[in-house]
Amino acid sequence: MALLNDTPAPRVAATLHGYPRQGPDRELKRAVEGYWAGRRTADELHTTARSVRAGIRRQLRDAGAAELPTGDFSLYDHVLDTAWMVGAIPARYRAAGGTGPDAELAAYFAAARGTAEVAPLEMTKWFDTNYHYLVPELGPHTVFAADSRKQVAEFREAIDEGGAARPVLLGPVSFLLLAKPGAQAGEGFEVLSLLDRLLPVYAEVLADLRAAGAAWVQLDEPALVQDRTAGVLHATAHAYHALTAVEDRPKLVVASYFDALGDALPVLAASPVEGLAMDFTGPAAANLDALATLGGIPDKRLIAGVIDGRNVWAADLERALALLATLLGLTGRLDVAPSCSLLHVPLDAAREPDLDPQVARWLAFARQKVDETVVLARALSAGRETVAPQLAANRAALASRRGSALTVDPQVRGRCAAVTPADARRPQPYARRAAAQQARLALPPLATTTIGSFPQTGELRTARAEHRAGRLSADGYRERIAAEIRDVVALQEKAGLDVLVHGEPERNDMVQYFAERLNGFVTTRHGWVQSYGTRYVRPPILAGDVSRPAPITVEWTSYARSLTDRPVKGMLTGPVTLLAWSFVRDDQPRADTARQVALALRDEIADLEAAGTAVIQVDEPALRETLPLRQERRAAYLAWATEAFRLATAGVRADTQIHTHMCYAEFGDILSAIEALDADVVSLEAARSYMEIAGELAVADYPREVGPGVYDIHSPRVPGEREITDLIDRALRSVPARRLWINPDCGLKTRGYAEIGPALERMTAAARRVRAAL
Ligand code: GLN
Ligand code: ZN
């Protein structure tokens, strides 16, 4: 029998579920992109990947983590890796990989990002995080086959260096629930029906890991923190009975995170698995009572996620210790961990030299979260006195945060406290507003517009970089932006659009731009977080009370208006989206933070209006994506989220038209929330879903104006006029012409001018044609 790699366990050890994959300077991103561009060989890519993994392990061991996760690393995405591990890669990608020496890698990246011939797998959000995974495609004919090479190799790398490691795999139930039926699957096919064919493949991988020396393997089942049917819970029980019935296997830990297990907890507790990993932070704090009610899991190991793995804040270590003390009585063996993989936070707060030092000490990125985890484990196993200095420093940091002028601005507090329900309600009913707006704007039926951004060209990006580096003066940069706005306005006039935009050339990013101009936000230099594949984002940190020191968008919007007689739409990012794509403070309810942001935007909207802007769009593409995972919390979320939007927008005159925009989601289940925004016009992504949304809006009796997208801006393809006409006709079956707007699905910033000139001309031509036939 192989020698087992088990932890000789201090009573309480520190461990984790996963770590950021990019390497300290995003080496992995550069290596993967270099490979795509043909600048690196597959061998060179694998060498970089190995050294990034070795660096991570060194860091984790030096920090004092007792059992390292392995297999969480990925060249692109861990769900795609899981599909590969079980052999569920559609044949078209294997074919696209060819037969060369790097065929497997080529097939892997073909599935991830497509080739000239095949479209990639669909991508979607990983639960309510900002990470996106590739959606496995399954069908009745899917043949699973185990390929444990990656898992085994990464585990071996770790244990060859000495010390304990625990392979982390996405579990079979979540894998199936995260997948979707492929195009050929046929009506009525249920992915979960594949479970019995999938389990033997997992059993084989587990056996391979056991043979390599793994004492423990973790199977992640985050899908169980969502509302699940009795059928799914039954399948879960079945899966873990089957996997534990296999002889000669590692011990199993089933992990969950992002929310409480709810009904799935008794199922897992009653299953023969040897351990559970549970989240005890945020909404998942409910796990504690549930576990206690159950009488604990005295015969199982518990990996307790007590450090929030999704925020950037230093934890309250005393509170975590108190929680752990309770958990000690509820389990046979306790380990301490962050609540989830640290994939969702930046790497190292110590590498932010530009940050205000007082803010810096409140922060904990991945590296600091591991340190916190280790301190907690030491306090419990070796005694508090062994970590007294760390606990004292933590108390001091928390106290400085509570008492800081940044976190508590009395003026902001006073203003928020004085908000009344009337402030979040437009005084005039929609019908009155619509008439006033029609009188002021005199738009034709089927009015045409765009969603805001025009292409962020290489020249714009270069100008911004040159300006930042001090090689392009402020005036030089401003002239560059002004010239771009002139071109964008001219292009829109030529295309015949009815409501123009300034094109957002000055914005690197729709959240960062505002974060940099609002008090209360801080931005980082290296705070990269993986969004998907090799795409990383640097979310701003919302650290304190929010206010607006000066107008943000008025100048460029007014400049664009000075260039044309047509209305120009002002363009803002809404409060919910500013929160969703930032790291938000954890020391007050999100609703309170949203209200502060809303008031700052309300000031901006008042200034835009006073400057003469008749149409103002407040984008909320993230409204749907931060919907809580559990149904029971959704109504409360939607109530404060829509209130924040209305608080931002309700101060305008009747004849000022408020637009909003949403994308990246299906909206069927939040139509009443969209209505609750009380915007005069909403534009929605729709071209890819064949105008389903228009029908849904009609069924829901949506009373105001809508612009379901007629041009799919995610692809470089220029739609034909006929195609657009068809979509408009289809939308007209559900929405009357006077309430229908004609616009693309989303902003044009990722497109090129070669495409959007013709596309917008066809869009306006299609609108004119349909209009003429009304
Ligand atoms: N106004 C933004 C743009 O056009 C909206 C972007 C978005 O919806 N994600 O780029
Ligand atoms: Zn959009």
Half-sphere exposure of 325 (CA within 13 A, CB side): 9
Nearest ligand to the C-alpha of residue 616? Answer: 1
User: Residue 370, Cα to own-chain centre: how many angstroms?
Assistant: 22
Query: What is the reported pLDDT for 7?
Result: 55
248 or 563, higher pLDDT: 563
| CA 31 / ligand 1 centre spacing (Å) | 30
Site residues for ligand 1, CB cut-off 6 Å: 451-453, 504, 510, 571, 619, 621, 661, 663, 746-747, 749
For 425, residues 6+ apart whose C-beta sits below 8 A from its C-beta are 646, 650, 678
Q: Which of 667, 714, 746, 751 to mutate to test the pocket of ligand 1 (most atoms within 8 A of CB)?
A: 746
Given a cut of 80, whether residue 2 has pLDDT beyond it is no
| CA 747 / ligand 2 centre spacing (Å) | 6
DSSP annotation string for 497-566: -SSB--B-TT-S-TTHHHHTTSEEEE--SS--EEEETTEEE---EEEEEEE-SS-SSHHHHHHHHHT-SS
Q: Where are the beta strands (DSSP E) in 266-362?
A: 275-279, 297-307, 331-338
127: left (phi over 0), alpha (psi -120 to 50) or beta: left
Given a cut of 90, whether residue 666 has pLDDT beyond it is no
Given a cut of 90, whether residue 695 has pLDDT beyond it is no
Specify the DSSP element, H or E, that contains 676: helix 671-676
Query: What is the reported pLDDT for 54?
Result: 98
Given a cut of 90, whether residue 686 has pLDDT beyond it is no
Q: In what order do the strands lie in the sheet with 297-307?
A: 12-14, 331-338, 297-307, 275-279, 251-255, 216-220, 164-170, 67-70
Query: What is the reported pLDDT for 37?
Result: 96
Q: Annotated binding residue at 569?
A: no
- Atom 4, ligand 1: residue with shortest CA distance: 747
Number of H helices, E strands in the chain: 28, 22
Q: Which of 510, 615, 664 to mutate to test the pocket of ligand 1 (most atoms within 8 A of CB)?
A: 510
Atom of ligand 1 nearest to the CA of 453: 4
Comparing C-alpha atoms, which of 320, 303, 310, 255 is closest to residue 283?
310
State how far the Cα of 81 lies from the Cα of 49, in Å rounded to an integer. 15
Q: Annotated binding residue at 466?
A: no
How large is the average pLDDT for residues 372-382? Answer: 97
State how far the Cα of 768 lies from the Cα of 194, in Å rounded to an integer. 50
Atom of ligand 1 nearest to the CA of 617: 1
Dihedral angle computed from the Cα positions of residues 506, 510, 513 and 514, in that order, rounded to the nearest 10 degrees: 130
Give per-residue pLDDT as tens, 195-240. Answer: 999 999 999 999 999 999 999 999 999 999 999 999 999 999 999 9
Q: Annotated binding residue at 562?
A: no
| CA 278 / ligand 1 centre spacing (Å) | 37
State how far the Cα of 21 lies from the Cα of 28, in Å rounded to an integer. 7
Given a cut of 50, whether residue 1 has pLDDT beyond it is no
Query: What is the reported pLDDT for 687?
Result: 67
Atom of ligand 1 nearest to the CA of 662: 8
Cross-strand pairs, 255 = 220, 277
- Atom 6, ligand 1: residue with shortest CA distance: 747
| CA 87 / ligand 2 centre spacing (Å) | 35
Give per-residue pLDDT as tens, 729-742. Answer: 999 999 999 999 99
| CA 622 / ligand 2 centre spacing (Å) | 9
Q: Annotated binding residue at 241?
A: no
State how far the Cα of 454 lies from the Cα of 756, in Å rounded to an integer. 9
Nearest ligand to the C-alpha of residue 450? Answer: 1
Query: What is the reported pLDDT for 404?
Result: 95
Query: What is the reported pLDDT for 10?
Result: 53
Q: Phi first, then psi: what are they for 528, rounded to 5°?
A: -75, 140
How large is the average pLDDT for residues 540-551? Answer: 98
Comparing C-alpha atoms, which of 340, 402, 353 is closest to residue 522?
353
pLDDT above 70 covers a percentage of the chain that reads: 99
Q: Phi first, then psi: what are they for 333, rounded to 5°?
A: -145, 130
Nearest ligand to the C-alpha of residue 745? Answer: 2
| CA 309 / ligand 1 centre spacing (Å) | 28
Q: Annotated binding residue at 27?
A: yes
- Atom 8, ligand 1: residue with shortest CA distance: 621
Report the 3 state secondary structure along 696-751. Answer: HHHHCCCCCEEEECCCCCCCCCCCCHHHHHHHHHHHHCCCCHHHECECCCCCCCCC
Instruction: State the catalytic residues.
Output: 714
- Atom 9, ligand 1: residue with shortest CA distance: 621
- Atom 5, ligand 1: residue with shortest CA distance: 747
Rg, Å, the chain Cα set:
27
Strand, helix or coil for residue 5:
strand
Cross-strand pairs, 138 = 181
pLDDT range class, residue 605, cuts 50, 70, 90: very high
Q: In what order do the strands lie in the sheet with 519-522?
A: 519-522, 541-547, 583-584
Comparing C-alpha atoms, which of 231, 120, 239 is closest to residue 175?
239
Q: Annotated binding residue at 416?
A: no
Give per-residue pLDDT as tens, 263-273. Answer: 999 999 999 99
Nearest ligand to the C-alpha of residue 750? Answer: 1
Atom of ligand 1 nearest to the CA of 451: 4
Strand, helix or coil for residue 193:
helix
How large is the average pLDDT for residues 654-659? Answer: 98
For 297, residues 6+ apart whose C-beta sits below 8 A from its C-beta are 269, 276, 291, 330, 331, 332
Contact at 8 Å (CB) between 718 and 759? yes
User: Residue 278, Cα to own-chain centre: how many angstroms?
Assistant: 21
Q: Which of 502, 619, 623 to mutate to test the pocket of ligand 1 (most atoms within 8 A of CB)?
A: 619
pLDDT above 90 covers a percentage of the chain that reads: 93
Least confident of 405-409, 456-460, 697-701: 697-701
Specify the DSSP element, H or E, that contains 439: helix 430-441
626 token code pair: 């931060």
| CA 114 / ligand 2 centre spacing (Å) | 22
What average pLDDT is seen over the chain? 96
Q: Annotated binding residue at 746?
A: yes
